[in-house]
Amino acid sequence: MLYRLLISCLGFAISMQAIAGEFNVALILDKAGKDDQSFNASAYRGIQRAEKELGIKFKTIEVKDAASSESMLRALAGKKYDLMIAVGFSHAGAVKKVAPSFAQKRFVIIDSEVKEPNVTSVMFAEHEGAYLVGAMAAMASKKASVGFIGGMDIPLIRRFAMGYEAGVRAVAPKAKVQVAYIGVTGDAFSNPPKAKELALLQNAQGADVIFHAAGASGAGLFDAAEDKKFFAIGVDSNQNGVKPGRVLTSMVKAVDVAVYESIKAAKNQQLPGGTTVNHGFATGGIDMAIDANNKSLLTPEMLKKANEIKAGITSGKIKVPDYYVLKK
Amino acid sequence: MDSLSLIELFLSALRFAAPLILAAVAGLYSERSGVIQIALEGFMLFGAFVGATSAHILGDGVAGLFMASGFGMIVGMFYGVLVLKLKADQIVAGTAINMLAWGGIPVVSKMLFDVTSNTPALEASERLPNWVPIVVALTVVAVTYVLIQKTSFGLWLTVAGEKPEALRAAGVSPAGVRWIALMISGGVAALGGALLSISLASSYTRNMTAGRGFMALAALILGKWKPIPACIACLLFGVCEVAQLKLQGVMIPGFGVVPVQLVQILPYAITMFLLAGVVGESRAPAKLGQS
């Protein structure tokens, strides 16, 4: 009896929502979760802003592995959710499979490309951002020797590495660039002790500026930078404040803006399906973080060079090698 | 070896090995007494979290180690309740402890710090210098060696896993020995986890053990359930890890750049190779899993 009452109450509540014309968004994050202070955290900020400014309702799901993201997506799309935002390359396969069965629902995939009429892909020009911080690293390095620590060895991270190396070479053609990856599984993004050992090793071999693209593992690099007094460069979110004075800058990927903008467009029925939105310096989707924590670390020449590079890439005068294109 | 001395590389290998050594020794206590121990990963995670949290709150790294170790003992006893008192399947119960750590810690962390992924970063003064894990691990191995070789408790431990009826005949309760073994096991593994978060890193990060508990188990088998050989097996893993870092991106004439994947399977490939023949048969305690 009580059970039936509950069910009818629930049914009533749901129909009320439908009448009010609510817009429901589901945000599917990857294993690192919404508090990774990096990539996922940025997406979460975007949806929080959308909740405040656009009055949408949302639910966040953290998926433990790629295998469960398909069933999760299917379950969400089958419910009241109008828009599913999958954050991270690991969801690409699941989105490709699920989207065709829910033609009236909209999907957004971030960091990967899925060609379906109701899917909007959002890509960032990581290689261009990495090129910019690579140039900064080369200018800040006293020994003409820099390092890169990647998380999992996947094309996305290789894209960072390739752009970074090109940026370093553009400023200092003879500089030494050490590139290393933490691992070949998803665990590589949550292994700070190993990132620290890698950073210490690279530093002992001469690198005095090290850039990471390793999610939560990056904490190990920042610790090493503090212990051995060299510079680190952050990634995805603005990490300048993690160890003020030791973080030269951060390559910021505005996932929050991308999430917010796609919710806004979808709510107004203006989200273009079957297309890929590319973010770079021109859209503000990629940038280099400058704030009170690192202002004194960047010389006027470096800032001037940074503006030159941004303008050059936007106008097409500087061509940054793209791992995605070169390895196709 | 351009600017790097071999000693520095060896120290790096020791730092890699230290948490593994502690976890392997933790597994040794439990498995020698006859209880399968696959919850090492969970114990380590609990240790890493409790250690970093108490070091942060109390402002002292050493206090963090003690708290973690104490909490590890409690979790070890909880495992004891499951498998010794309630006779649950040891593999299932061990997996349950691991899952409790994966899922439970983020919940507690959310309540304490309002983030699920990590504890606040420790100040340099609250962290322990990075030689501490090496010293602690080697001390624990030495103590364990003496305990097992020279004391009656060591003998009981072995007999509890091989011939519990003989122990009973001598008037010692095998279950009692196993309770103590599980407590030590939890405490030592948690200590390994705490050293990871307090010394080798500067905070607890979600799932930061990244499979070390399972690698320790492999080292234990490779070391034939004996403290010194297990310690050497862990060291071997440490050396592989460092070799792996060192070999990445290196050009080998006539072969090209060494692919990352190839280098990263080194520890696993060596384990399989060694287990397949070089070290000879590795025999588990006779009553393992039957208590």
pLDDT above 70 as % of chain A: 94
A68, A190, A196: which to substitute to probe chain B, counting the most B Cβ within 10 Å? A190
Residues in chain A closer than 8 A to B117 (CB atoms): 32-37, 216
Tell me which residues of chain A, numbers 165 to 204, contact chain B at a CB-CB cutoff of 8 Å: 178-181, 183-184, 187-188, 190-194, 196-198, 200-201, 204
Residues in chain A closer than 8 A to B241 (CB atoms): 194, 197
CA distances from B183 to A210, B73, B189 (A): 42, 5, 10
- CB-based contact, B123 to chain A, within 8 Å: no
Instruction: Decide if pLDDT at A244 tops 70.
Output: yes
pLDDT value at position B1? 42
Tokens standing for A320?
A: 């940054």
Taking the C-alpha atoms of residue B183 and residue B131, their distance in angstroms, rounded to an integer, is 26
**Residue with tokens 């989200």, as numbered in its chain:** A271
Q: At A47, give phi and psi (nearest 5°).
A: -75, -30
Average pLDDT over residues B190-208: 92
- CB-based contact, A221 to chain B, within 8 Å: no
Instruction: Decide if pLDDT at A23 tops 70.
Output: yes
Contact A192 B208 (CB under 8 A): yes
Work out the number of other CB atoms within 10 angstroms of the CB of residue A87.
Answer: 29
Which run of H or of E encompasses B257? strand B256-257
pLDDT in tens, A214-233: 988 999 999 999 999 999 99
What's the pTM value of the predicted model, to 2 decimals? Answer: 0.84
Contact B121 A178 (CB under 8 A): no
Find the length of chain B. Answer: 291
Nearest to A222 by CA among B202, B195, B56: B202
Tokens standing for A321?
A: 């090698």
pLDDT in tens, A53-81: 999 999 998 887 778 889 999 999 998 89
**A313: exposed, middle or buried (C-beta count within 10 Å: 0-12, 13-18, 19+)?**
buried
Which run of H or of E encompasses B159? helix B152-162
Tokens standing for A46?
A: 């975007």
Instruction: Decide if pLDDT at B78 tops 70.
Output: yes
- CB-based contact, B95 to chain A, within 8 Å: no
B105, B245, B247, B266: which to substitute to probe chain A, counting the most A Cβ within 10 Å? B245
In three state form, how does the secondary structure of B13-72 look?
A: HHHHHHHHHHHHHHHHHHHHCCCCCCCHHHHHHHHHHHHHHHHHHHCCHHHHHHHHHHHH
Q: Is the dihedral of CA B188, B193, B198, B200 positive or negative?
A: positive
pLDDT in tens, A180-189: 999 888 788 8
Q: Is the dihedral of CA B181, B185, B186, B188 positive or negative?
A: positive
Which domains does chain A possess? 2-124+255-279 (3.40.50.2300), 126-253+298-326 (3.40.50.2300)
Q: Where are the alpha helices (DSSP H) in B200-259?
A: 212-222, 227-247
Instruction: Decide if pLDDT at A16 tops 50.
Output: no
Banded model confidence at residue A19, pLDDT cuts 50, 70, 90: very low
End-to-end CA distance of chain A: 62
Banded model confidence at residue B122, pLDDT cuts 50, 70, 90: confident
- What mean pLDDT value characterizes chain B? 89
pLDDT value at position B45? 96
pLDDT value at position B278? 67
- CB-based contact, A205 to chain B, within 8 Å: yes
* DSSP-assigned states of every residue in B2-15: -S--HHHHHHHHHH
- CB-based contact, B104 to chain A, within 8 Å: no
pLDDT in tens, B222-276: 888 999 999 999 999 898 888 888 777 677 777 677 777 777 787 778 777 877 7
Tell me which residues of chain A, numbers 85 to 114, contact chain B at a CB-CB cutoff of 8 Å: none
- CB-based contact, B176 to chain A, within 8 Å: no
Mutual angle of helices B174-195 and B152-162, in 10-degree steps: 110
- CB-based contact, B98 to chain A, within 8 Å: no
Contact B205 A197 (CB under 8 A): no
Residues in chain A closer than 8 A to B261 (CB atoms): 153, 184
Q: Which residues contact B144 (CB under 8 A, 6 or more apart)?
A: B25, B28, B29, B227
Contact between residue A131 and residue A320 where contact means Cβ atoms under 8 Å apart: yes
In terms of CATH architecture, what is B6-278? Orthogonal Bundle (1.10)
Put the strands of the sheet holding A83-87 in their side by side order.
A57-62, A24-29, A83-87, A106-110, A119-124, A276-279
Contact B208 A223 (CB under 8 A): no
Q: Greater confidence, B115 or B101?
A: B101
Residue of A nearest to B3 (CA): A205
Contact between residue A163 and residue A129 where contact means Cβ atoms under 8 Å apart: yes
Average pLDDT over residues A222-251: 93
- Distance, in angstroms, between B158 CA and closest chain A CA? 34
Contact A201 B245 (CB under 8 A): yes
Taking the C-alpha atoms of residue A256 and residue B30, their distance in angstroms, rounded to an integer, is 48
* DSSP tag of A56: -
Taking the C-alpha atoms of residue A110 and residue A88, their distance in angstroms, rounded to an integer, is 5
**C-alpha angle A264/A266/A269, rounded to 5°?**
115
Average pLDDT over residues A36-57: 89
Contact A193 B208 (CB under 8 A): yes
Average pLDDT over residues B207-228: 90
Q: Which residues contact B194 (CB under 8 A, 6 or more apart)?
A: B47, B48, B50, B51, B52, B64, B65, B68, B69
- CB-based contact, A158 to chain B, within 8 Å: no
Banded model confidence at residue A2, pLDDT cuts 50, 70, 90: low
- CB-based contact, A32 to chain B, within 8 Å: yes
Least confident of A16-30, B171-185, B233-247: A16-30
Nearest to B141 by CA among B77, B228, B205, B238: B228
Q: Torsion angle, CA of B138/B143/B149/B154, rounded to 10 degrees?
A: -130
Question: Closest to B12 (Cβ–Cβ): which among A37, A197, A217?
Answer: A197
- CB-based contact, A216 to chain B, within 8 Å: yes
Q: Greater confidence, A12 or B254?
A: B254
Taking the C-alpha atoms of residue A253 and residue A238, their distance in angstroms, rounded to an integer, is 9
Residues in chain B closer than 8 A to A217 (CB atoms): 205
Contact B264 A204 (CB under 8 A): no
Average pLDDT over residues A2-24: 57
